[in-house]
C-alpha cells in the first residue's frame, strides 16, 4: 500500500482520518481517536504547507478539520490560528466552537468569550448553543473564571450533540425528517 500512498492527496488522508477520529470519539475509544487525529493533523500540515507554498487558498472545510485535529492533539496555538484563518473566510459553527476551546485551553479568556459569543444560532445545534450560553454566563460573572471547567463543559456538550445528531440522522434515514442539519463543511 505504501507505493500508492504517494498518489493520495494529503487532504484526503486528513479528511478520512478526521472522520475516523470523530467516529472513534463517539465510540469513546480515546486511544484510536487520538491516533486518527494525529495522523490527520500530520496530513493537514502537509496539505497546508503545499497550499501556502503554491500561494493558493485552502478550503475553509479543510481549515476547520485541521483546527479540530490540532485541538484534539493538544496543539492549541496551531488550532487557534488555523480556525481564526478559517473564520476570516467563512462563518463555520465548528470553527467558532473549537477556536473558543483552543483559546480557553491557552488561558485567553477574552478570545474564548468572543468566539463562543459568535457561535451562530442558525447552526441548529441546540445542545451546544444552550451549553455555550450557560458557560458564557458563568465565565462572565466570575472574577477568575475556571476555563478548564468551561472546556470540559464544551467537550461534554459536543458529545451530547453528536449523540443527538446520530439519533436524529437515523430518523431522517427512515424518512421521518426531510432535511439534514449542516455544520458548514
Domain parsing of the chain, residue ranges: 2-171
Please tell me the predicted confidence (pLDDT) of residue 125: 93
Phi, psi angles (nearest 5°) of residue 57: -75, 150
Q: Comparing 51-60, 75-84, 172-181, which segment has the lowest mean pLDDT? A: 172-181
Average pLDDT of every residue of the chain: 90
pLDDT tens figures, 128-142: 999 999 999 999 999
Q: Given 1.10.760, 1.10.8, 3.40.50, 1.25.40, which CATH number is that of 2-171?
A: 1.25.40
The residue behind cell 450560553 is: 133
Given a cut of 60, whether residue 183 has pLDDT beyond it is: no
Instruction: 67-71: list long-range contacts, CB under 8 Å, 24+ apart.
Output: 67/95, 67/98, 67/99, 67/102, 68/18, 68/37, 68/94, 68/98, 69/14, 69/18, 69/21, 69/37, 69/38, 69/40, 69/41, 69/44, 70/41, 70/44, 70/102, 71/98, 71/101, 71/102, 71/105
Residue pair 112/147 in contact (Cβ under 8 Å)? The answer is yes
Q: Give backbone dihedrals phi and psi of 92, rounded to 5 degrees, phi first.
A: -115, 125
For residue 106, what pLDDT is reported? 97
**Residue 171: pLDDT over 70:** no
Amino acid at each position: 500500500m505504501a507505493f500508492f500512498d504517494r498518489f493520495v492527496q494529503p487532504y484526503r488522508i486528513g479528511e478520512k482520518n478526521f472522520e475516523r477520529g470523530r467516529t472513534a470519539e463517539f465510540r469513546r475509544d480515546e486511544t484510536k481517536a487520538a491516533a486518527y487525529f494525529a495522523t490527520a493533523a500530520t496530513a493537514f500540515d502537509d496539505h497546508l504547507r503545499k497550499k501556502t507554498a503554491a500561494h493558493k487558498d485552502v478550503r475553509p472545510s479543510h481549515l476547520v478539520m485541521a483546527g479540530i485535529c490540532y485541538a484534539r492533539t493538544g496543539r492549541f496555538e496551531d488550532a487557534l490560528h488555523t480556525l481564526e484563518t478559517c473564520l476570516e473566510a467563512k462563518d463555520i459553527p465548528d470553527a467558532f466552537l473549537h477556536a473558543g476551546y483552543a483559546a480557553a485551553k491557552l488561558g485567553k479568556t477574552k478570545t474564548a468569550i468572543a468566539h463562543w459569543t459568535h457561535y451562530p444560532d442558525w447552526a441548529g445545534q441546540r445542545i451546544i448553543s444552550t451549553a455555550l450560553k450557560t458557560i458564557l454566563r458563568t465565565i462572565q460573572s466570575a472574577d477568575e473564571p475556571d476555563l478548564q471547567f468551561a472546556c470540559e463543559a464544551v467537550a461534554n456538550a459536543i458529545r451530547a450533540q453528536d449523540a443527538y445528531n446520530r439519533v436524529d440522522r437515523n430518523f431522517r434515514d427512515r424518512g421521518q425528517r426531510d432535511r439534514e442539519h449542516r455544520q458548514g463543511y
